[in-house]
């Protein structure tokens, strides 16, 4: 037995595949992309009895091996490439006890590839509630496999799955049925031409646009000769294959599955009538959003204040404890202040992901997608664009990847171009710090002005995405013809383990992803802010002492003036003043300008940059919020961060393409630099104009 067993976790969407993956791997998992493509994959290690380990890869959800999207192609390519490092020793097909008939289509196809396959039937705790009973011995005999009846909610059956993985070599690899009977002569000729190759694998090579490793590709070049049938004929054969498989599945389930309709209870229909209602559905969704944003503010205020004051105290402690010098200043003013500017937002970001995860786990998010489809079509967007736009509230990068299930290239392109308008979690730190500075803390109907402002910013982003999609549709003359099919899963109580793992994984990815960038930028910014050319910087002490000689300043005030003079004449001050004329009409000073430019690496860097700039030379134990609140507008007087400049700044970030990583993904998905350059120029120009108008009107 090998030290590590490769396991492919496969299944239809909404069968509980993620729950099974989490139950097997726990925290021993990581997220990445498949080599060469931007489709997300999850993989983890499962510790089995007798010291054996299993490497489990969670494949994208698919209904069958007749792929219709790029992420479904990933499943086929992995299962067909025996030379691949992730080729499975055993496949686990996860099915839902309530949709067993549909789920078994994929199972029978994988069995035809002669891969040892385990059938896992999930949600067994709902069998009595739904009046379902299964004859497991009969099903195992007909399906030629071993079946694990599990409930991830009640943590039952997982040990049986682990035991079956260990004994995978004992599983039958015999197919469930002979699918080649749909066209005997065609498949006989194919079998004779390639006597040493697996027949169903050859059939998939003929009908699917799949990719193989370098070793395998040459073995299948001659298969092209069997594409003599037209695409219509091949499609008809695929349909016959599907019918043949369902005939077998129906016969198997006649005895293997019994459903007592009198016992079955279903609240789902009643709930769907309310939650997807053309009026009440939208009102309920709006109310849920309001509650979420209110909770984000109310629940996170205490931990945020604690983190903010802790980092300020830590910075001060480092200055007082370590010997004076460049390293101490770098640590206290650069690294600690920069990281503190992002760590402070962990509570709010974690709460955001918590609520999103609960909505997804409960089955409600599918109803939201269904509701949004009604709006999308009025603006000319494909119904399938709903998923990327909604998932863009977490991050635009995986949202753009999710457009791969849109068949029409033009519809997919439009969705890619407008998705960055939706408010992602990276914008959240910018919004939160500005809202805290310029929006008062009053309430209306129990909802705070700050929470309402945050919700309004989300709605503005979504409106910009939909509006720009409508314009692009008009320009391209595109008429939406695709149909949108969304799975409506059963309502269920979210599993605490799944929600906790999702929040931990997403928050960790956000913090460490942003943290690396912020750490690097903080060091660079500290250096640029701590050093400068010429006499103005080097002789700052004598210049300020002479300038304020008659003002009788105390030592602390004099040191603050010197630090401010040095900062203004440092390398970063010179660069900031160079771009200040362009941003002054928007109500920004040179410090904000530097933060905007540096945040192109990642939007959330904006706060970290200001935290670093404002901490340089400051000896006071102040939080970043207090320092920003104390900034004075050098021209108009009064606070720099006032209502007009704050609204202008939030609107700029609502519309600007301030994300280098998103541009890189757009280039990769469109295979051209033309589209990301268009995005950068048009979105930035639009953001500048809107921010300019907002400031000039409100000032």
Q: Which distant-in-sequence residues (6+ apart) come within 8 Å of 21 by Cβ?
A: 9, 29, 42, 44, 56, 58
Q: What is the SS3 assignment for 281?
A: helix
Higher local confidence (pLDDT), 519 or 328? 328
CA distance linking residue 403 with residue 387, whole number of Å: 8
**Residue 307: per-residue pLDDT:** 85
Which residues, at least 6 apart from 609, have a Cβ–Cβ distance to it below 8 Å? 338, 341, 521, 522, 525, 594, 595, 598, 599
- Average pLDDT rounded to a whole number, residues 478-501: 70
Inter-residue contact 84 to 55 (CB < 8 Å): no
Check the CA dihedral 331-333-339-344 and report its sign.
positive
Task: Say whether 274 sits in a helix, a strand or coil.
Answer: helix
CA 51, CA 11: separation in Å to the nearest integer?
28
**What is the pLDDT averaged over residues 621-630?**
67
For helices 449-476 and 643-655, angle between their N-to-C axes, nearest 10 degrees = 40
Q: Which two tokens stand for residue 673?
A: 């630099």
Per DSSP, the chain holds a count of helices (H) and strands (E) of 32, 11
The whole-angstrom separation of Cα 524 and Cα 624 is 19
Which band of pLDDT confidence, cut at 50, 70 and 90, is reported for residue 145?
A: very high
**Of 312, 314, 342, the residue nearest 615 (C-alpha):** 312
The percent of residues in the chain predicted with pLDDT above 90, rounded, is: 19
Q: How many angstroms separate the CA atoms of 46 and 40, rounded? A: 20
Which residue has 């008062």 as its token pair?
Answer: 440
User: Which residues, in sequence order, are CB contacts of 121 under 8 Å at separation 6+?
Assistant: 95, 96, 97, 100, 134, 147, 148, 149, 150
Q: Given this model, what pLDDT does residue 28 score?
A: 64
In degrees and rounded to multiples of 5, residue 531 shows phi and psi of: -135, 155
pTM of the complete model beyond 0.95: no
Can you give the pLDDT at residue 34? 40
Across 235-268, b (16+ Cβ under 10 Å) vs e yields: eebbeebbebbeebbeebbeebbeeeeeeeeeee
3-class secondary structure, 440 = coil
| Residue-level pLDDT at 341 | 67
Dihedral angle, C-alpha 70, 76, 79, 81, nearest 10 °: -80
- In the predicted model, what is the mean pLDDT of residues 622-637? 70
What pLDDT, on the 0 to 100 scale, is given for residue 33?
A: 44
Residue 381 is encoded by which pair of tokens?
Answer: 């967007």
Residue 648 pLDDT level (bands cut at 50, 70, 90): very high
Residue 229 confidence class, pLDDT cut points 50, 70, 90: low
Rounded to a whole number of angstroms, the CA Rg of the chain reads 30
**pLDDT value for 252:** 93
Confidence tier at 667 by pLDDT (50, 70, 90): confident
> Could you tell me where the DSSP H helices lie in 531-588?
534-538, 540-547, 555-568, 571-583
Q: What is the mean pLDDT of the chain?
A: 81
Q: What is the mean pLDDT of residues 641-648?
A: 91
Residue 556 pLDDT class (50, 70, 90 cuts): confident
Of 337-346, 410-419, 522-531, 681-690, least confident by mean pLDDT is 337-346
Question: Of 121-135, 316-330, 504-518, where does mean pLDDT reach its minimum?
Answer: 504-518
User: Looking at the predicted structure, is the pLDDT value of residue 260 above 60?
Assistant: yes
Highest mean pLDDT among 381-385, 568-572, 584-588 belongs to 584-588
pLDDT tier, 405 (very low <50, low <70, confident <90, very high otherwise) = low
Q: Which of 77, 43, 73 is nearest to 57 (CA)?
A: 43
CB 63 within 8 A of CB 105: yes
9 within 8 A of 92, measured Cβ to Cβ: yes
What's the confidence (pLDDT) of residue 483? 56
Specify whether the CB–CB gap between 416 and 405 falls below 8 A: no
Tell me: the pLDDT tens digits for 296-354? 777 877 888 888 788 888 888 888 888 888 888 888 877 887 777 667 778 877 887 78
| 3-state secondary structure (DSSP) of residue 47 | strand
Q: What is the dihedral of CA 651, 657, 662, 668, to 10 degrees?
A: 150
Supply the pLDDT for residue 30.
60
CA distance 604 to 589: 19
The tens digit of pLDDT for each residue in 435-463 reads: 988 888 888 877 788 888 988 998 999 88
**Residue keyed to tokens 């891969």:** 115
pLDDT tens digits along 15-26? 888 889 988 888
User: Given a cut of 90, is residue 1 above it in pLDDT?
Assistant: no
CATH 3.40.50.300 location in the chain: 1-261
pLDDT for the residue 55? 92
CATH level 3 topology of 1-261: Rossmann fold (3.40.50)
Q: How far apart are CA 217 and CA 81, in angstroms?
A: 9
Pairing of strands 447-448, 257-259: unpaired
CA separation for the pair 390, 38 (Å, rounded): 19
Count Cβ atoms within 10 A of the Cβ of residue 195 and give its class: 0-12 exposed, 13-18 middle, 19 or more buried. exposed
**Interatomic CA distance for residues 501 and 485, integer angstroms:** 28
Mean pLDDT for 192-214 is 75
Highest mean pLDDT: which of 15-19, 159-163, 178-182, 566-570?
159-163
216 band by pLDDT with thresholds 50, 70 and 90:
low
Q: Are residues 150 and 161 in contact, defined by beta-carbon separation less than 8 angstroms?
A: yes
Please tell me the distance from the alpha carbon of residue 481 to that of residue 383, in angstroms, as a whole number.
Answer: 10
Q: What is the 3-state secondary structure (H, E, C) of 467-512?
A: HHHHHHHHHHCCCCCCCCCCCCCCCCCCCHHHHHHHHHHHHHHHHH
Per 3-state DSSP, the chain is made up of helix, strand and coil in percentages (nearest 5) of 65, 10, 25
CA distance 335 to 246: 61
pLDDT at 80: 85
Here the tokens at position 240 are: 């016959």
Which comes out higher in pLDDT, residue 380 or 5? 5
| pLDDT level of residue 652 (50, 70, 90 thresholds) | very high
Q: What is the pLDDT of residues 62-94, one digit of tens each?
A: 888 887 666 677 888 888 888 888 899 999 999
Report the alpha-carbon distance of residue 468 to residue 685 in Å, rounded: 14
Between 169-178, 347-356, 463-472, the lowest mean confidence (pLDDT) is in 347-356
345/351 Cα distance (integer angstroms): 10
């Amino acid at each position: 037995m090998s030290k590590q067993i490769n396991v492919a976790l496969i299944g239809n969407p909404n069968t509980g595949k993620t729950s099974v993956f989490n139950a097997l791997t726990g925290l021993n998992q990581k997220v990445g992309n498949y080599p060469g493509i931007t489709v997300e994959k999850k993989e983890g290690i499962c510790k089995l009895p007798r010291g054996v380990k299993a490497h489990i890869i969670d494949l994208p959800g698919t209904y069958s091996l007749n792929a219709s999207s790029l992420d479904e192609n990933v499943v086929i390519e992995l299962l067909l490439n025996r030379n691949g490092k992730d080729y499975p020793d055993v496949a686990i097909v996860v099915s839902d006890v309530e949709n067993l008939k549909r789920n078994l289509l994929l199972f029978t196809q994988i069995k035809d590839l002669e891969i040892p396959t385990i059938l896992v039937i999930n949600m067994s705790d709902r069998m009595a509630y739904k009046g379902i009973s299964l004859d497991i011995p009969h099903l195992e005999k007909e399906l030629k496999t071993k079946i694990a009846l599990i409930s991830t909610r009640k943590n039952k059956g997982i040990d049986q799955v682990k035991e079956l993985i260990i004994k995978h070599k004992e599983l039958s690899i015999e197919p469930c049925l002979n699918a080649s009977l749909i066209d005997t002569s065609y498949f006989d000729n194919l079998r004779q031409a390639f006597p040493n190759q697996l027949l169903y694998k050859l059939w998939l090579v003929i009908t699917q646009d799949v990719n193989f490793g370098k070793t395998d590709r040459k073995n299948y070049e001659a298969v092209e000769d069997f594409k003599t049938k037209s695409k219509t004929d091949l499609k008809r054969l695929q349909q016959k294959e599907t019918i043949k498989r369902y005939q077998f599945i129906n016969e198997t389930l006649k005895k293997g599955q019994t459903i007592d309709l009198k016992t079955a209870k279903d609240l789902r229909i009643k709930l769907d009538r309310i939650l997807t209602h053309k009026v009440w559905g939208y009102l309920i969704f709006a109310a849920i959003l309001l509650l979420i944003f209110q909770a984000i503010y109310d629940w996170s205020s205490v931990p945020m204040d604690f983190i903010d004051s802790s980092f300020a105290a830590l910075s001060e402690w480092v200055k007082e404890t370590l010997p004076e010098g460049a390293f101490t200043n770098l640590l206290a003013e650069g690294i600690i202040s920069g990281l503190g500017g992002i760590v402070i937002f962990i509570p709010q970001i974690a709460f955001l992901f918590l609520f999103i995860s609960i909505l997804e786990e409960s089955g409600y998010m599918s109803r939201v997608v269904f509701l949004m489809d009604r709006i999308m079509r009025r603006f000319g967007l494909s119904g399938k664009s709903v998923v990327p736009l909604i998932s863009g509230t977490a991050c635009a990068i995986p949202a753009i990847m999710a457009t791969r299930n849109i068949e029409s290239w033009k519809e997919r392109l439009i969705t890619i171009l407008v998705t960055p308008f939706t408010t992602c979690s990276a914008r959240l730190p910018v919004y939160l710090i500005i809202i805290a500075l310029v929006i008062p803390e009053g309430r209306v109907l129990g909802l705070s002005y700050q929470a309402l402002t945050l919700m309004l910013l989300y709605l503005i982003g979504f409106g910009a995405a939909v509006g720009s999609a409508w314009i692009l549709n008009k320009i391209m003359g595109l008429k939406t013809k695709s149909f949108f099919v969304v799975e409506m899963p059963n309502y269920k109580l979210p599993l605490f383990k799944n929600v906790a793992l999702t929040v931990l994984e997403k928050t960790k990815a956000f913090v460490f992803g942003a943290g690396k960038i912020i750490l690097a930028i903080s060091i660079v910014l500290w250096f640029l802010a701590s050093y400068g050319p010429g006499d103005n910087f080097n002789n700052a002490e004598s210049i300020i002492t002479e300038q304020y000689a008659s003002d009788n300043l105390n030592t602390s005030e004099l040191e603050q003036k010197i630090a401010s003079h040095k900062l203004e004449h440092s390398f970063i001050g010179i660069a900031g003043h160079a771009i200040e004329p362009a941003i002054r009409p928007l109500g920004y000073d040179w410090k904000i300008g530097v933060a905007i430019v540096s945040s192109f690496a990642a939007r959330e860097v904006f706060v970290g940059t200001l935290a670093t700039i404002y901490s340089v030379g400051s000896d006071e134990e102040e939080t970043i919020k207090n320092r920003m609140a104390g900034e004075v507008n050098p021209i108009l007087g009064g606070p720099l961060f006032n209502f007009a400049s704050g609204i202008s700044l939030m609107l700029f970030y609502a519309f600007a393409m301030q994300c280098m990583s998103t541009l890189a993904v757009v280039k990769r998905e469109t295979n051209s630099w033309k589209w990301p350059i268009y995005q950068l120029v048009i979105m930035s120009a639009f953001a500048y104009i809107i921010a300019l108008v907002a400031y000039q009107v409100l000032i």
